[in-house]
Each structure stands twice: as C-alpha cells, then as structure tokens.
A and B are shown apart, each in its own frame.
Chain A
C-alpha cells in the first residue's frame, strides 16, 4: 500500500513552509491528525505549524533534538496545553482539548517518564487506581485481579512473578509494562509514551519494545518520544521529526535511515542521496 504521508524534506531549505499542506492518507483517515499546530509561551515560539498523523495500529516515533518541541507536542495532544493555532482532527472530527480529562475521555493516555505508579501498591492495585471495582462499597479484588492478569497475558507480560507484589519490587521494564497495561485497561485508542526505554538495560529495553509492538498490534495508535534511534528503528512503523518547533520530515520508517534522521534532527534538512524518503516514495 502506498503511504504518501512523508512530506518533502530532502535538501529543501523551505521544508517548513510546506508543512501546513495536509496530505490526505489513502487508506482511511488516521486516528489523530495535527494540522498546522502552533504554540507559543510569551516570546518563545515552541511549535510552528506542526503536522502529525497518528494512524491506528501503528507506532509513530517522534524524534527531535532537545528543544525541538517534542514535549510541547505531546503535552498539547494530552490536553495539558491548548494550542494557539491549528487543528486537531480525531477520528475525522476537529476537536479542542482543554484538559487532560477531555483527552482521556477521547481515549488518549499519556505515559510520562515517571510512570505515575504508587510503589506501595501492588500491580493490580496500580492498574486499577482511580477505577477500582467495588460491590456494595467493598473492593472487588477477585474481579480486578482476574482482569489485570488477563490484560497482562494479552500483552505477554510474563516476567512478573506475582501480580500481587508491590511495584517497588519491579524492574524498570516491568514497571513500564504495568504502566502500559494500565493504559490498555482504560481502553486507550492512542497511547503516548515519553522516553519509554530511557534508563533501561538491554534486556529490559527489548522487553519494552516488544510490548509496545504488541500494543500497536491490538489496534492502538502509539506515539513514542525517543532519543534513542536504535530503539526508534527497532519498533516504529513511522517517524516524524521536529526541528526547532517545526515538522521537517515524516513518513514510513523504511524511508529513512539513522544517518538521515540525525541530519534532520540536527540541521532540519538532509542532503544525503538514496535515502528514499523524498515525497514518500512518490
């Protein structure tokens, strides 16, 4: 299937000026599209006409150097900050998100780097935090434990020895798994992950990457912010690159190679030949 999402980038100094032109995907609308999103903080223009497409069932990596606008982008999508200009289109309809609650209501879950887990609670308790099931005022532990176990099995999270152990005793990768499972249980359609593999060892990183792939294979759109290009190429279906608050390139990951991505991240353009990402194969 032709996927002409990749925007013209190669060697063109004015890439950003073309960024505002929406390119309709061929195989159905993406779950969420950002069109010309802008956000400024006083004199600082954090985002300038950023475009981003997040199709369901695919992993999109959001790459960029420090200060490129990755955090502002995900915070805008998760409803923390309202954009100054531009449009967000969710399942074909324009939406305005004024609070994280509204984003959650749509099915957008954000997993920040701190994972927001309570160390003293066990895995089941963390997965159901804020959404506990109860019968006549008494917590229904049996039902919660069964659901939590099923969710973890669906995600093939098999390395935890007991789902009744406190998350304080879990490794970094396992904690990440619990956070992901929590998102799955909330029936999220879009899961945003901020640096999911930062500070993880090799084995743990692999485990988390597999987990993210399984998450997207369940039909969830995943947006991953990552500095680590090895991880990006290991898991992502698509990539979008920001440079100084502007979208400079995006498209299927197969159209890129690490060197080209580094070029885009550092300079906002790439002159390398044969990278195959020009105009998204078209």
Chain B
C-alpha cells in the first residue's frame, strides 16, 4: 500500500494524524475482501472467516446445505449414493444448471425472465422437428437454427422491455403464455409430431449428448488435461500479477483451489466410470457434463473478463451510474435478455436429449421456478448486481439432489413440489437476510 510521505518538518504530527485517520478508516470500513491484502495462508483464512461473519459467506452455506441434503437422503435410501443414481443426478442437475445460468443473467440486471421454460421448449421443438423425419436435417444446422430462434425470442422480449420501458416481469409472463401456445402451434403444423410429441432420433448427436458417454480412458485423459491447464493458467496468472505488483491471492490459495477442483474431478470421473449397466456394461462420463461445464466456463469468462459482463454488473447495481459513464444501457440490457434466452435454448437441447423426445406437455412453468431457485440457492441475489456463473452449478446440484432424492424416496409429486418450494423460499430468505446484514456492517 502506498503511503504519502509527509514533509519532514511536521512528520511526527502528520504521521500520528495519518495513523489515527487510518484507524478511523478501518473502523468505518467494514471487512469486505480483506483476503486481498494478506500474503500467508493463515492470514487469508482468518480474513475469510471475518468476512463470513460479516455476512459475505460466498459458497459455504450452499456447500453445507448440499452435504446435509446428501446425508439425509443417504440415510433414508442407501441407493442415493450409488454410481447409477449419482450419474442420473448429475444429468438432472445439468439441466437445472443451464436453466439457472439463464436466469442468473436476468437476475444480475435486477430483472426476471419467466419465459425461459417455454423458450427452451420452443428451441427444443425446432431442433427436434428439424432432425426428425420427415425433415431429417443434420444435427448441427438444426441446433444452430433452434438456438438462433431462442435468441430471437430473447431479443423480442428485450426490445419490448428496454424500448417501451415495460417491466420484465410482465413481458416475460406474456412470453410464458405466448411461447406455450407457439409450441402447440409448432406441433400442430408438423406432420412428424404424433400426439404433440416429437421423437429425437436415437442415432443423432442431439440424443447422444446425454445418452452417450466418454470411454473411461478418454474421461481420465480429459480430466488430466483440464486440471493441468487450469493449474498452469491460474498459477502463472497469480505469479505474473505478483511480479507486476498487482493484487493477487497467495500461491497457497491458488494451489488449494486447483487441488480441490482436481479432487472434485477425480470423484466425478471415478463415479461415472463405475459400471452402471444392468445387462450390458455402461460406464463413462456422459458428454452432457463437460458440455455444461464448458457453458458455465464461457459464461464466467463473459461476465468477468469482457466489457459486456462488466456492464451487466454495473447496470444491475446502479443503472444511473452506468448511463452517466456512457454505457448504452438499453443495448446491454437487451443483449442480456438475448443471452438469457440463448442459454435457455441450450437447456432445451439438454432437455430433449435427456428425454429422447419433446412434448407439448413440457412443464415450462416448473422449470422457471427451478431456474430461479437454482440461481438464488447458488448465491445470486434477486436484487441485482450480485451473482456468478458458478452459482448455477451449486444451485443446480442442490435442486437436482432434492428432486432426485425425493423421487428415489417415492415422495409423491405433491410432496416434491412443496419440498422444492420450501428450499426456494429458504434460499430467498437467506439472500434477503444476508443482504440486510451486509448493508449494516458497511
């Protein structure tokens, strides 16, 4: 930290005043991000602990909650932690992660998108109808067209919200109903849709996304490559920042982070590589898992390392400040709704791959609630400006675990709905309470 050099003549007095000023500052400043100032691991952990007590708890309560959920279900039903069930859980969670990520974009702006469940449905229908008979398109143009269509729906809603200054709540509620109708219309005009259901051909790449696995060896190689890359990038960045005199986390923290992700990766690959087939051997990491991780990584990069991401955070916290800084607020908000809908399209892709078909009966409403729940449970604030892409991973896992676990225990649909709702309300309450504590300590 740079310090002013007071003139020598008045040094003692000035220094004393400076010290008292510093103390006054420290007293009024709260305790956010003290990790940035420390060098040793011990100091880092202490700083981290003070921050947790100040209400900036980060991912800790979610991880704690996840462990609790897992323990409860495992005690009730020993099959919960079996490899077969865990892989099912991961696939289910992958869907919720994408829905949650989609909603996070809207929440960061302090907006909400209630239409994403049916936006995903529209995208899924378009893709499925194009690759299924009688159209029989190759998968890539079909997927691109389906995703472009969902992005276009996001653009329409975004323009309505920003140009006509309509509340996103109302516009996307309109979208919810409209797109539900659009799905029925798409099924009606398609001769290939029987009874409102379009099958995804089991030979297509779209079907394979969830239903095909990496071979165990490929899984291990991919893991080693990814962890090595992650370690190299984060260590070299930390070292470079230190050498430039910039703030950087201690090397030990970087090493711990890399080690923790390596352990998580090893557990994932080990679980997925266990044979979970009944008659024929079935093992390996489903392709959907690296797919979703890649999407989250891309979203994270966009939010943290590009202008667009920076502006989304700025607008979410203080639109007036963003406007005065010369940011085209309307354009950034519109683009965010496009990205939100596009991500919903990806969720639609995973959805139809998982089920092997898509039907007019898609429960888009439930998926919207799960999306908001996953985002908020993961740690994204409903009040705008606070949230990370990885929150979707955490929240998606929690919702996936609850949904899967309750199903495993044979809880009725009524019970499942109510339990999920309670988890959502609990998460929102935690968000609200933490927010209040956070503002008090500042």
Q: Given A118-B318, A118-B385, A156-B4, are A169 and B32 also a contact pair (CB < 8 Å)? A: yes
B13 interface residue per 8 A CB criterion: no
B326 CB within 8 Å of chain A: yes
Q: How many residues of A contact B (CB 8 A)?
A: 45
Q: Does B96 contact A (CB under 8 A)?
A: no
Task: Identify B322's interface contact among A130, A134, A153, A201, CB under 8 A.
Answer: A130
What are the residues of chain A within 8 A of B438 when measuring CB–CB?
168
Label chain B's interface by main secondary structure. helix
Q: Tell me the minimal C-beta distance from A193 to chain B in angstroms.
A: 15
Of listed B1, B20, B327, residue having the most chain A CB within 10 A: B1
How many Å lie between the Cα of A163 and that of B305 in the bound state? 18
Residues on B close to A: CB < 8 A? 1-4, 18, 20-22, 24-26, 28-34, 36-37, 240-241, 244-247, 305-307, 310, 313-314, 316-318, 320-322, 324-327, 385-386, 438, 442
7 contacts between A and B (CB under 8 A): A119-B318, A131-B326, A134-B307, A142-B241, A149-B2, A165-B33, A201-B24
Return B300 CB to nearest CB of chain A, in Å.
13
Given known pairs A125-B310, A158-B2, the reply for A116 and B320 (CB within 8 Å) is: yes
Partner of B21, one of A101, A116, A117, A203: A203
1/0 per residue, CB under 8 A from B, across A151-168: the answer is 011001011011111101
Structural contact, A120 and B385, CB atoms closer than 8 A: yes
Residues of A within 8 A of B (CB): 100-101, 114, 116-122, 125, 129-132, 134, 137-139, 141-142, 145-146, 149, 152-153, 156, 158-159, 161-166, 168-171, 173-174, 201, 203-204, 207
A203 touches B325 (CB 8 A): no
CB-CB under 8 A for A159 and B246, given A116-B318, A169-B32: no
Name the B residues within 8 Å of A141 (CB-CB): 246
CB-CB nearest in chain A for B328: A130
Residues of B contacting A142 in the complex (Cβ-Cβ under 8 angstroms): 240-241, 244, 246
Given pairs A165-B33, A171-B28, A203-B20, 18 additional interface contacts (CB within 8 A): A100-B324, A116-B320, A116-B321, A118-B314, A120-B313, A120-B385, A121-B314, A139-B306, A158-B2, A159-B25, A161-B26, A161-B29, A162-B1, A166-B32, A169-B33, A169-B442, A170-B29, A171-B25
CA distance A141 to B1 in the complex (A): 18
Q: Which residue of chain A has its CB nearest to the CB of B324? A: A116
CB distance from B35 to the nearest CB of A (A): 9
Contact of A162 among B18, B21, B247 (CB under 8 A): B247
Taking a contact as CB atoms closer than 8 A, the residue among B2, B18, B244, B317 that contacts A120 in the complex is B317
The minimal Cβ–Cβ distance linking A135 to chain B, given in whole angstroms, is: 11
Chain A hits for B240, CB < 8 A: 142
Q: How far is the CA of A17 from the CA of B250 in the complex (A)?
A: 68
With A130-B322, A146-B244 as given contacts, are A139 and B305 in contact (CB-CB < 8 Å)?
yes
